[in-house]
Structure 1
Amino acid sequence: MSQTQIAPVSMEVDAPRAMSNRLILTMAIACGLAVANLYYIQPLLADIGRSFSVSVGQIGFIATLSQLGYASGLLLIVPLGDNYNQRKLIVGMLVAVTVALAAVSFAPGVIFLAFACYALGLTTVVPQLIIPYAASLAPAPMRGRVVGTVMSGLLIGILLARTVSGFVGTYLGWRSMYWIAAIMMILLAVVLRFLLPDDRAPKGSTSYPRLLQSLWGLWRSQPVLRETGVFGALVFGSFSAFWVILSFVLETPPYHFGSEVAGLFGLVGVAGALAASVVGRFADRGEARHANGIAISITLFSFVLMWLTGQWLAGLIVGVLLLDLGTQANQVASQSRVYSLIPEARNRLNTVYMTLYFVGGSLGSLLGTWGWSLAGWNGVCGVACMMLLLALALYIFNSKRMSR
């Protein structure tokens, strides 16, 4: 299938347009608040497991289901952004995620919770609608900076979600966190309805099945998309392997900490998230692929460091800072490369990239839980290092033939 057959769903002109700092900040905050829904669960896993009297492996699988739901939403919902009004789609999905959050909070048993968490992941796709929309609004010379700034908001939301849910879970219970989140999503829907610009770009009339079918054509025709997708899957997989078991690590000797301390580790990574816009500027100078290689190396070093010094709190703190920095730098560099490929297919390009990204995250959560059950901290670090070594090997292997 040729590129001309897979791309022309819309006729967007990739010309410079005005984009105010207020709009960029609004999109960044919206991404952070929306994506947080997917990560509230991580510091709460031990508490949720106790409330339903289930094992570490069973409750870890619940977290995996939410990420699989997110991957499903990326695949089935995000491509619609190339065919339909972006603002209406974003507001509609915020209403849908509110219903899913209420279902999680209400869950009477672990089976209901599993379905509700999958639905929560499925509907938490607003950030992946906003990011390509921001890229389409930004002039080409500043696209990397805009994407980096919006990504900073998303990444800070991921990190602070753990801090907030850790404290709310400790003092109000884990169910309260999801009721609070549901209220925030309704308020966010109202705000975005009035602050987001209406999406007036011409849209295509391609049928939904053909829209989904075009995803495979994009994957086959775009080597940059394939490479960044694998980088994202492996790096985010290692990231998820760590975060899904952190609350269990901190409950064991020598720490004996509760969920609020697990949540505080999210604050450590904020410094890394703030570096995302800097990486975006680096990408605007045409160095995005080099940023991928540096980011993968930093992430690998973080796990080696934590493997050797994880018995000390200081070792974990430094490792988490480097882990978040490397993961976030890889994400911004990868998305800057992806959004430069076919302007009229940005939502579908993002779908392919982010679906693989979160499939990798789901696999990392599963392998991290398995590694912890099998060999404790050594198992988790071993799994993560293997994933990152694969990513680094691919980077080196492709270096001679990849130009951007």
Structure 2
Amino acid sequence: MGGTGMGFALLLATAAGLSVANIYYAQPLLDQIGAALHVSAGNLGLTTAITQVGYLLGLILLVPLGDLVDPRRLISWMTLTAGAGLTAAGLAGGPAAFFAACAVVGVASTVVQVITAYAAAQSAPDQRGRVIGVVTSGVVLGILLARTVSGVVAEAFGWRAAFLLPAVLMVATAVALNRLLPRRPAKRAAVPYLRLISSVVTFTRQDRVFRTRSLLALFQFGCFGVLWGSLALPLSAAPWHLSTSKIGLFGVVGAAGALSANGAGRLADRGRASTVTTVMLVLLVLSWAAIRTAPFSLVLLTVGIVVLDFAGQALHVTNQHLIVANNPGAASRVIGGYMVYYSIGVGGGAITATSLYSAYGWGAVCSFGAALAVLALVVGSLGKTSQTRTHARS
């Protein structure tokens, strides 16, 4: 890895995991936050919505800067800003201050994408997939553990501590990264900032690999949003009536599936990205047959969750490997643009799934998820056909 070794990848994975966790600390604490800040139940959803809007803005406005400024300074300052946002959330005296703090946390937490792009850009080409896999594993663990940690901390010390303690971690992480990451001189901007932040449109229009892999992300993480945005609904209903803590255990199952997908990065390093893509897309489609059984079999549901998260994570690592390999000098821009598609897929999938469940039940949710998986398979097949034709002409 460019002389830095896997220890460097583990450092970045830790920083990425801590950063992405910031987005999820509030989710299990909404009732406590609402009671303390006098926020109605109907408005509590603004906590997640505002954070996600901030995250999307950060992907567009800040992440592309990683290709122009010294990544060490950008990562350090964004991490420090996330700590400031968490501090403000923990000290907030009313809804307006709390929601504003959530927006800051959302924007600053996109540092995880700057970290991922930096890790990819610093990697030797034959190790890039492996490194991205390690960093992405840190992200998965951050997402998994965030809700559990905030719940435990809040139970012991109150909900404000669930923001203030991570704030201290962010400040410590910022200091450590500023000292340990190698400095890279800032580049002179070759394009105006407005053109820089519109690079997602430019890459989509001009870069076939980016376009194909981003559309895959849109549909595959649409599947992810469909599943995790609505899974609690059938599990809390008859015949299971599972508690919140028991439903949360399915997240551990999903993370186990996702973490087992790291081998995809190594296969991509060996030139097997096309094979990985085809196999994982087929698994993604098949997973919905098992997920469909949620009202009848928790065992088959568990199998479906593992398969879906395994396939989705393997595709995620492969996608990032390929788009960075195709644009090594624009790693931050392509990762940030790719994640815009990711965010739209997750959010759109979750919103649509809950609406479908209310109107038509779990079967309709699974049909929608399977349709997204089929669309991903079609996009992957068309992309592979286009690539084959290009090679034939050359």
Q: Same fold (TM over 0.5)?
A: yes
Q: Give the gaps of 5 or more residues in structure 1.
A: 1-15
Give a deviation string over 1:223-242, Cα, whole Å, max 9, x none: 11011111111111221232
> What's 2:284 paired with?
299
Contact 2:235 2:294 in 1 (8 A): no
- Which stretches in structure 2 are left out of the alignment for 5+ residues? none
CA contact (8 A) 1:163 1:262 kept: no
Q: Distance between the aligned counterparts of 1:379 and 1:216, measured in 2? A: 33
Residue 71 of structure 1 contacts residue 355 of structure 1 at CA under 8 Å; is this kept in 2?
yes
| Corresponding residue SS for 1:386 | helix
- Cα distance in 2, alignment partners of residues 256 and 174 from structure 1: 27
8 A Cα contact 2:235 2:295, kept in partner: no
Structure 1 residue identity aligned to 2:288: F
User: How much does 1:136 deviate?
Assistant: 1.5
Please name the residue that 1:372 is paired with: 357
Match of 2:322 in 1: 337
- Larger displacement relative to structure 2 (247-256 or 394-403): 247-256
Tell me the TM-score normalized by structure 1: 0.85
* Local SS of the residue matching 1:308: coil
Q: Look up the match of 2:337.
A: 352
Matched, 1:280 2:265: yes
Q: CA deviation at 1:169?
A: 5.3
2:264 is the counterpart of 1:261: no
1:398 aligned residue: 383
Range moving further from structure 2, 163-172 or 136-145: 163-172
CA deviations 1:135-186 (Å, max 9, x no partner) are 1111111111111111121122222224334544566555543333222212
Question: How many pairs does the alignment contain?
Answer: 387
Match for residue 136 of structure 1 among 77, 100, 121 = 121
Specify the alignment match of 2:71 in structure 1: 86
How big is the alpha-carbon RMSD for the aligned residues of Structure 1 and Structure 2? Answer: 2.8
Q: Deviations over 1:49-72 (max 9, x none)?
A: 7884425xx655643443332222
Change in Cα spacing, 1:281 to 1:192, as seen in structure 2 (3 Å) is same
8 A Cα contact 1:163 1:265, kept in partner: no
Cα distance change on mapping 1:39 and 1:346 into 2, 3 Å: same
**Secondary structure at 2:41 match in 1:** coil
Tell me the equivalent position of 2:308.
Answer: 323
Using the TM superposition, name which of 317-326 and 222-231 deviates more. 317-326
CA distance in 2, matches of 1:268, 1:202: 43
Report whether the alignment pairs 1:21 with 2:6.
Answer: yes
1:54 pairs with 33, 41, 46, which one?
Answer: 41
For 1:172-191, what aligned pairs fall within 5 Å after superposition?
174-191=159-176
Shift of 1:380: 3.2
Q: 1:305/1:59 Cα in 2 relative to 1: closer, same or farther (>3 Å)?
A: farther
